[in-house]
Amino acid sequence: MISDKMCKALNNQVNAELFSSYLYLSMSSWFSERSLSGFASWMRVQAQEELSHGMKIYDYILERGGKIEFGTIEQPESKWQAAAEIVEEVAKHEAKVTGLVNDLVDVAFAQKDHATNIFLQWFVAEQVEEEASVGEVLERMKMIDGDSAGMFAMDMELGKRVFTAPVE
């Protein structure tokens, strides 16, 4: 059985992952509305990934006999001025999520909840990958600096990314 404190912290993380999904879908729609279909597809894949992260935690709470508690999902932003601004916000958002995951690990340690600590290691590793991945896109956006040929190439490349469900 999971402690109330750990359960509450995990439920908060489900909310944070679902908010991430909502935010990335909002970004995807921004790109779709501007015919940047590769960027839109990339953010849509990101949104699917965040939903799968939330569900992974949801399933874990249930597996440990915890209670699912839903909260309000914050309204995501929807007004941006440029593609580069969005990519920058994704990078900042992922850094924030890494902080949340680290806080969860701290709670698991404090609660001596070794099972949850092991479970969370998947998220620790995932954040390293997510930050590296968006960091690469951000660096390339800086190189492109709004150049239309560069944006076109980037849009083509990002459109190739597909969603793969996380491995258990």
As measured in angstroms, the least distance from the Cβ of 32 to ligand FEO is: 20
- Taking the C-alpha atoms of residue 7 and residue 13, their distance in angstroms, rounded to an integer, is 10
Is residue 129 classed exposed, middle or buried when 0-12, 13-18 and 19+ CB atoms within 10 A define those classes? exposed
Q: How far is the CB of 53 from ligand FEO (least distance, A)?
A: 4
Instruction: Report how many helices (DSSP H) and strands (DSSP E) the chain contains, helices first.
Output: 5, 0
**Closer residue to ligand FEO, CB minimum distance, 115 or 125:** 125
**Whose Cβ is closer to ligand FEO: residue 54's or residue 66's?**
54
Shortest distance in whole angstroms from residue 94 CB to ligand FEO: 5
Nearer to ligand FEO, 76 or 150 (CB): 76
Residue pair 84/141 in contact by the 8 Å Cβ criterion: yes
Nearest residue (CB) to ligand FEO, 4 versus 121: 121
Q: Give CB contacts under 8 A, 24+ apart, made by 149-156.
A: 151/36, 151/83, 154/38, 154/39, 155/36, 155/37, 155/38, 155/39, 156/38
For the bound state, the minimum distance from the C-beta of residue 17 to ligand FEO, rounded and expressed in Å, comes to 5
In the structure encoding, which two tokens stand for residue 85, read together?
A: 């601004």
Considering the complex, state which of residue 17 and residue 113 has its C-beta at the smaller distance from ligand FEO.
17
Residues that bind ligand FEO (CB under 6 A): 17, 20, 50, 53, 94, 97, 130
CB of 131 to ligand FEO, least distance (A): 9
Rounded to 10 deg, the angle between the 114-144 and 37-63 helix axes is: 170
